[in-house]
Structure 1
């Protein structure tokens, strides 16, 4: 049981199933090889993190499939107790589009995968292709953590993302349902959603994003103003005015390089403080990467 739940890096096993650049998924020791099967033999994966399939996207893919066929086989696994039935692990979008194109059969590669491996592969394949919206991605990560006991750091290694990315994505599930739906519908971006997390009323500002076309920076400024509070605005302005031109120029130079708000404060003599303000974990992650360069 302990071996089954031990998280590990996606190596040649699952990673090889995707084929990052190849048109055909390579075979592995746990593969039964590529074959064509009747399209009705395939079943959608109830664990697939992707639940949104836009009709316009499917129609475009179906048109391509009519002309060129399904270039990359769909990864499937057998369904215990059912003959001539396979569960889709990766490639449900292609399968749906192939049905629209009225293909009689479809290329597949059959693999022996347990539930954990199937979910991992479904998430990795969709993340690599940018097929998931941020909320679907977060739900997929959450499911791996809840069902298979992953720590965030181990999960990051498995899917090939940074730990802050996993943590920031999971935090999107804290948003109100209506705001999460706006992300899934494409009304607001994942960047907007992360900036909304620090607000007292994310739903109100989310509505403003749609109505007024607010940028991510606009939302971050709203969050900064809310965090500062009205009572702190005037004292901060006075301290800014007291700084000499050289200090303000240095602050601007550092801000331009880091892409964040930077302030310098003298502590007397030659000592002082350097303060860097960030509005989201995404910005903090970016700062850490720059400092590590």
Structure 2
């Protein structure tokens, strides 16, 4: 048997649509695998009743198939599905690491990114790696067709998750098919600022670089109370706020001393919009951990 803890993630970070991602210290999924003649899946934990156990419909089944590594797989969900915190990516990353160890396949973590991304395609329709890369590698990641750049950043974060659902497919459906040159120029400048901020562990630069005029405003419209939550977080000390991945989670970057106040302000703002929520006071963390 092999057991892996795979962390939640936040993708896009505003200006880095389908490119930027980071691993969260918490929450996380735990995936356990045992050799078997054919793949079977059981799921427990948060939101487990909504996750299919048929290997043909589960991200983990796609990973087992891609690795030709049949197994009895148990997923203990700590990352709620349809949260914007990389729920399917955590399961896929955890399964990829666990099965790689179980069958002594000797793939590197970088090589497993494309394998885990195949599982993601079951959820979003696209095999993108902006969530699976940080879940496997940890830190802040930049994913392009040329490869993956990873930075061991260590910033404090608050991920506030409201009790509403935004599907990945719906969130991708509101992304515009064409944009103005001015918006592209602004977004590129912000993305560059964010990347430099991550390299310097500078929350002010990262927050400044999170703004984008293209994707975030449209996804924010799908989240009841978003504008109030963003304003409350910024007024309490957050240096930047954006939609986490496809949403509905809202991600705030802050200094460690402000994290508790920012979390409370975000919950209170969702309450004012009649939306229940919970906040994870966390930070950028490591990638999937294999327990020997």
- Give the TM-score category using the shorter length: under 0.3
Q: Which has the larger radius of gyration?
A: 1
Q: Which has the higher helix share?
A: 1
TM-score under structure 1 normalisation?
0.24
Structure with more relative contact order (C-alpha pairs < 8 Å, separation 6 or more): 2
